Amino acid sequence: MAVGKGDLGVLHPVPGITMAAVSAGIKKPGRLDCVVFSLGDSASVAGSFTRNAFCAAPVTLCRQHLAITSPHYFVINTGNANAGTGNAGMENARRVCHEVAELKSLPINSILPFSTGVIGEQLPVEKITDVLPEALAQLQEDNWTDCAKGIMTTDTRPKAASVQIEINGKTVTITGIAKGAGMIKPNMATMLAFIFTDAKIESQQLQAMLDIAVNKSFNRITVDSDTSTNDSCMLVASGASEVQIDENNAEFMAALNTVFVGLAHGLVRDAEGATKFVTISVEDGANQEECLQLAYTVAESPLVKTALFASDPNWGRILAATGRAGIEALDIGKVAIYLDDVCIVQDGAVASSYTEAAGQEVMEQEEITIRITLGRGSYSETVWTSDLSHEYVKINAEYRT
Amino acid sequence: MAVGKGDLGVLHPVPGITMAAVSAGIKKPGRLDCVVFSLGDSASVAGSFTRNAFCAAPVTLCRQHLAITSPHYFVINTGNANAGTGNAGMENARRVCHEVAELKSLPINSILPFSTGVIGEQLPVEKITDVLPEALAQLQEDNWTDCAKGIMTTDTRPKAASVQIEINGKTVTITGIAKGAGMIKPNMATMLAFIFTDAKIESQQLQAMLDIAVNKSFNRITVDSDTSTNDSCMLVASGASEVQIDENNAEFMAALNTVFVGLAHGLVRDAEGATKFVTISVEDGANQEECLQLAYTVAESPLVKTALFASDPNWGRILAATGRAGIEALDIGKVAIYLDDVCIVQDGAVASSYTEAAGQEVMEQEEITIRITLGRGSYSETVWTSDLSHEYVKINAEYRT
């Protein structure tokens, strides 16, 4: 299941960046499960990683390598997360980097490894190193769809987004791919996302821009409230366009936001078992924290999520979640709740204009906005989520079989 | 579905307390859905209520009445929560109290109302007031099972617990009933629980004893992290035994704890769709808060819960939940995780002694303990939860149909 059509649209190549997707047979033979990106010699790279204390070996290694030198290659495998694997896991991640470094005569620190898949099993290193020469031989400018497929796990479809803008008469491109369908409540970034631009951006600036973009995209989605051990989001600026950009360029930041939000929405639309794409918008809060807290409480309520799955306008569950979100001294008499434009709760109780038929009509849509206004300030926040279906339980009960 | 046999055992009458369960046909004709308790003239009563800001009308009225006078009657209905119902809801709750007050020539404040069921629909008051004379005529000392049935909603079986102890050569009885299977993360008390004793206990003492008992029972369980709008837990001391008790009586407190924990476990065992009863124990934490926070994070992780449902020893999900629980400066090298006595994670990675077969064996049990040791202090906490099954989604998707 997935919400919406999921067309990838036109995915523009990013000058300076090449890529390949091959099959290493990590979990299933014949499946694209190993992706390599070549970043060229002068790219700036920024990274945003999981805050999970049990972060995976490749995440630890990425952080170490990024602190030492500028990366030249990304190597990504699916089918195995290399998390909870201790010292052996670190050594295995290093061996993957070492192989590419040898083949390309580069220092090992210029290779960044990424893994996603089952936690707690050792990485089958040989399967990966065996196919790296093939991957490096196949690097090309325009292979986004295969690479987006090559990083999928329980995803039912690839996710990618691409935007071109004109700056000073020159075309600047931003294209990215992402994966993730479960264990999604990114706390910095999501499972894996790789976004590339040919703009020329200084490293520290790039990191600031990544942090801003992540915070309004991957850090505003939740499928099941579980933050992964492997979350990594990388932003690469190849500089090939020769257009110098910094975070004060509003047009570029807007384009970047479009790509990030597009990818983040792509994850939610393809969330495990998803039949609905739901926007939770909290308005008129006293501060940003309480708006976020309430939005996540509603977004993660299993009862709200099963009502969404059933297309049942059982708004009492939204009201109950609002009431238990821990908002200090909430005056329920000022709270209103809307399903799209239908007002269901006003002044803290069912709205006099509300009819079950009106609520039902909205709930039957594939895309729904739940809007909660608190009447106690001027802050607002939005998060996106999916419903909780039979399929979610099935996928996650049978994940390792 | 439910875990374990659910035998109620012997339920001792509590001298001074009488009860009746009748059918008002609130949601389904013929079903026991209206329960009345008579507390006599000299009972002490303590109450613990939901912290949900959108608390139901009967909860608000209970608090008001308790502040004014000592209660004589409890009137409980299922099938309708009378929550999110505004002023009309308050008026309806008052009308139910007024009817009993009239019939028994008592002030309205001496009647406490309780409701549970669908949120957001107005209470069908006449259906309830019509059967109150019948209920009052049927009051008897020993009707626990019917009353436990009469407060059920999605529960598949009644919950009750009973203990007798000897104090100063006299028998003191504690018997209670509870209901609840979904929207269970009590934050003070659970959906509805009524516990009675014939001990003689001064009101303020009784409230302190209730707070202690609730905190180690109903406040330590979660089915789906949703705190209800109607949570109410009442402790009544009829005084009929003439045995004076205060909270320093360790024997009585232990017996009280047995009844409370028994009822709380009963809710989890009968949680919506439950096939497992799971104890999450966090040990060697730096403080109580972090132990609780971690225990709840694991208990509420949909991925841990679906793995439990599938009997899949996918312990990586427990590790991932531990890592994302937000414990300040967690040294994962000191963390160990056990399934019953099987050590799965030691020093932050998979234990060398661990085998999938050993993990599998534990996961196939109906009752499982997940034990996490943090190696950073001397605090510990325990919470109880259930798994997340197909049946949970089915029950909650079809709840209003």
Q: How far is CA B353 from CA A56, A92, B73, in A?
A: 21, 21, 59
Residues B209 and B288 in one domain: no
Residues of chain B neighbouring A321 (CB-CB closer than 8 A)? 226
DSSP characters over B235-276: EEE--TT--B--TT-HHHHHHHHHHHHHHHHHHHHT-TT---
Angle at A82 between CA B389 and CA A52, to 5 degrees: 70
According to the model, what pLDDT value does residue B243 have? 87
According to the model, what pLDDT value does residue A185 have? 64
Q: In which domain, by residue range, is B391 found?
A: 277-397
Residues of chain A neighbouring B306 (CB-CB closer than 8 A)? 392-393, 396-397, 399
CATH number at residue A366: 3.10.20.340
CB contacts under 8 A, B 291-330 vs A, are 300-303, 306-307, 309-310, 312, 314-317, 319-324, 327, 330
Q: Residue A178 and residue A147: Cα distance in Å, rounded?
A: 10
pLDDT, tens only, A318-336: 988 898 888 988 898 899 9
Partnered with residue A78 across adjacent β-strands are: A116
CB A29, CB A19: distance < 8 Å = no
Answer yes or no: is B359 within a domain: yes
Residue B30's SS3 state is coil
Q: How many domains does chain A have?
A: 2
Residue B309's SS3 state is helix
For A295, list phi and psi in degrees, rounded to 5: -60, -45
Catalytic annotation, residues of A: 190
DSSP characters over B34-55: EEEEE--SS-EEEEEE---TT-
Sequence-distant (6+) residues with CB within 8 A of A116 are: A76, A77, A78, A81, A151, A153, A179, A191, A192, A228, A230
Q: Residue B298 and residue B370: Cα distance in Å, rounded?
A: 9
Q: How far is CA B139 from CA B110, B114, B144, in A?
A: 17, 18, 11
* Closest residue by Cα to residue A35 from A88, A81, A73, A75: A75
Residues A330 and A258 in one domain: no
Residues of chain A neighbouring B317 (CB-CB closer than 8 A)? 119, 183, 226
Catalytic (active site) residue B190: yes
Residues of chain B neighbouring A348 (CB-CB closer than 8 A)? 54, 84, 86
Sequence-distant (6+) residues with CB within 8 A of A34 are: A21, A22, A23, A24, A26, A75, A76, A77, A78, A128, A131, A132, A135, A150
Answer yes or no: is A1 within a domain: no
Q: Which of B55, B119, B319 sits opposite A84 (nearest CB)?
A: B319
B323: tokens are 């890592």
Residues B194 and B287 in one domain: no
A153: tokens are 């796990």
CB contacts under 8 A, A 328-347 vs B, are 330, 332, 345, 347
Partner B contacted by A10 (CB < 8 A)? no
Tokens 């001792």 belong to: B12
* Average pLDDT of every residue of chain A: 87
Residue B179's SS3 state is strand
Residues B216 and B318 in one domain: no
Q: At what angle do helices A316-323 and A288-300 cross, to 10 degrees?
A: 140
pLDDT, tens only, A165-195: 888 888 899 988 888 766 666 654 456 777 8
Residues A35 and A130 in one domain: yes
Q: Which of A224, A314, A348 sits opposite B399 (nearest CB)?
A: A314
CB contacts under 8 A, A 62-121 vs B, are 81, 83-87, 89, 118-120
Asked if the interface predicted TM-score (ipTM) of this complex is over 0.85, the answer is: no
Q: Calculate the CA B233 to chain-centre distance.
A: 8
Do residue B393 and residue A396 have CB atoms under 8 angstroms apart?
Answer: no
Question: How many helices (DSSP H) and strands (DSSP E) are in chain B?
Answer: 11, 16
Residues B170 and B297 in one domain: no
Do residue B307 and residue A347 have CB atoms under 8 angstroms apart?
Answer: no
Q: Which residue of A has its CA nearest to B333?
A: A86
CB contacts under 8 A, B 230-289 vs A, are none
Q: Is the pLDDT of residue A375 over 50?
A: yes
Answer yes or no: is B8 within a domain: no
Do residue A393 and residue B397 have CB atoms under 8 angstroms apart?
Answer: no
B400: tokens are 């209003």
Q: Residue B83 and residue B59: Cα distance in Å, rounded?
A: 9
Residues of chain A neighbouring B303 (CB-CB closer than 8 A)? 182-183, 224, 226, 396
Residue B210's SS3 state is helix
Do residue B396 and residue A182 have CB atoms under 8 angstroms apart?
Answer: no
Residues B307 and B235 in one domain: no
Q: Which of A84, A118, A316 sits opposite B83 (nearest CB)?
A: A316
Do residue B183 and residue A320 have CB atoms under 8 angstroms apart?
Answer: yes
Find the largest Cα–Cα distance for chain A.
72
For B180, list phi and psi in degrees, rounded to 5: 140, 135
**Which of A240, A269, A298 is the endpoint of a domain?**
A269
Interface A–B counts its CB contacts (< 8 A) at 213
Q: Mutation target for A interface from B49, B52, B54: give the one with most A CBs within 10 A.
A: B54
CB B381, CB B296: distance < 8 Å = no
Residues A55 and A139 in one domain: yes
Q: Is the pLDDT of residue A99 over 50?
A: yes
pLDDT, tens only, A259-269: 888 887 877 88
How many CB atoms neighbour CB B289 within 10 A? 12
How far is the alpha carbon of B188 from chain A, nearest alpha carbon, in Å?
Answer: 12
Residue B290's SS3 state is helix
Q: How far is CA A40 from CA A7, A198, A393, in A?
A: 29, 11, 43
Q: Residue A176 and residue A174: Cα distance in Å, rounded?
A: 7
Sequence-distant (6+) residues with CB within 8 A of A256 are: A174, A195, A197, A209, A213
SS (H, E, C) B121-165: CCCCHHHHHHHHHHHHHCCECCCHHHHHHHCCCCCCCCEEEEEEE
Residues of chain A neighbouring B118 (CB-CB closer than 8 A)? 314, 316
Sequence-distant (6+) residues with CB within 8 A of A186 are: A50, A180, A214, A218, A219, A221, A227, A228, A231, A233
**Which of B231, B253, B269 is the endpoint of a domain?**
B269
Provide the whole-model pTM: 0.77
**Which of B269, B292, B314 is the endpoint of a domain?**
B269
Q: Which of B52, B85, B312 sits opposite A323 (nearest CB)?
A: B52
β-pair type (B18-22, B34-38): antiparallel
Answer yes or no: is A94 within a domain: yes
For the beta sheet containing A73-78, the strands, ordered from the edge strand earlier in sequence to the opposite edge, are A18-22, A34-38, A73-78, A111-116
According to the model, what pLDDT value does residue A189 have? 47
Q: Mutation target for A interface from B49, B301, B306: give the one with most A CBs within 10 A.
A: B306
Residues of chain A neighbouring B182 (CB-CB closer than 8 A)? 303
CB A83, CB A109: distance < 8 Å = no
Q: Which residue of B has its CA nearest to A337?
A: B84
Q: Which of A53, A302, A310 sits opposite B323 (nearest CB)?
A: A53
For the purposes of burial, counting CB atoms within 10 Å of the CB of A352, is it exposed (0-12), middle (13-18) or buried (19 or more)?
Answer: exposed
Answer yes or no: is A11 within a domain: no
Tokens 């020993």 belong to: B142
Q: Residue A181 and residue A201: Cα distance in Å, rounded?
A: 31
Residues B47 and B132 in one domain: yes
Check residue A32 and report its DSSP letter: -
Question: How many helices (DSSP H) and strands (DSSP E) are in chain A?
Answer: 11, 16
Do residue A349 and residue B85 have CB atoms under 8 angstroms apart?
Answer: yes
Q: Residue B235 and residue B45: Cα distance in Å, rounded?
A: 6
Do residue A397 and residue B224 have CB atoms under 8 angstroms apart?
Answer: no
Residue A193's SS3 state is strand
Sign of torsion over alpha carbons B93, B98, B99, B101: positive
Residues of chain A neighbouring B315 (CB-CB closer than 8 A)? 84, 120
Q: Which of A306, A324, A332 sits opposite B393 (nearest CB)?
A: A306
The residue count for chain A: 401
Q: At what angle do helices B302-309 and A390-397 cross, to 10 degrees?
A: 70
Which residue type occupies A245? I
Sequence-distant (6+) residues with CB within 8 A of B257 are: B213, B216, B217
Residues B254 and B341 in one domain: no
Answer yes or no: is B11 within a domain: no
Residues A289 and A255 in one domain: no
How many CB atoms neighbour CB B126 within 10 A? 11
Tokens 């099935």 belong to: A394
For B380, list phi and psi in degrees, rounded to 5: -145, 155
Do residue B54 and residue A301 have CB atoms under 8 angstroms apart?
Answer: no
Residues of chain B neighbouring A390 (CB-CB closer than 8 A)? 390, 393-394
CB A72, CB A110: distance < 8 Å = yes
Q: Residue A321 and residue B224: Cα distance in Å, rounded?
A: 12
Answer yes or no: is A2 within a domain: no
Residues of chain B neighbouring A350 (CB-CB closer than 8 A)? 84-86, 120
Q: Which of A55, A309, A393 sits opposite B388 (nearest CB)?
A: A393
Q: Calculate the CA B392 to chain-centre distance.
A: 18
B174: left (phi over 0), alpha (psi -120 to 50) or beta: beta
Residue B352's SS3 state is coil
CATH number at residue B70: 3.60.70.12
Q: Mutation target for B interface from A82, A303, A318, A343: give the one with most B CBs within 10 A.
A: A303
According to the model, what pLDDT value does residue B75 have? 96
How far is the alpha carbon of B12 from chain A, nearest alpha carbon, in Å?
Answer: 36
Do residue A87 and residue B349 have CB atoms under 8 angstroms apart?
Answer: yes
Answer yes or no: is B1 within a domain: no
B96: tokens are 């139910």
Segments in chain B below pLDDT 50: 188-189
Q: Residue A288 and residue A285: Cα distance in Å, rounded?
A: 7
Residues A90 and A175 in one domain: yes
Residue B29's SS3 state is coil
CB A141, CB A102: distance < 8 Å = no
Q: How far is CA A32 from CA A7, A16, A152, A230, B386, in A?
A: 20, 23, 9, 19, 37
Residues of chain B neighbouring A317 (CB-CB closer than 8 A)? 119, 183, 226
Which secondary-structure segment (H or E) carries B177?
strand B170-179
Do residue A396 and residue B315 have CB atoms under 8 angstroms apart?
Answer: no
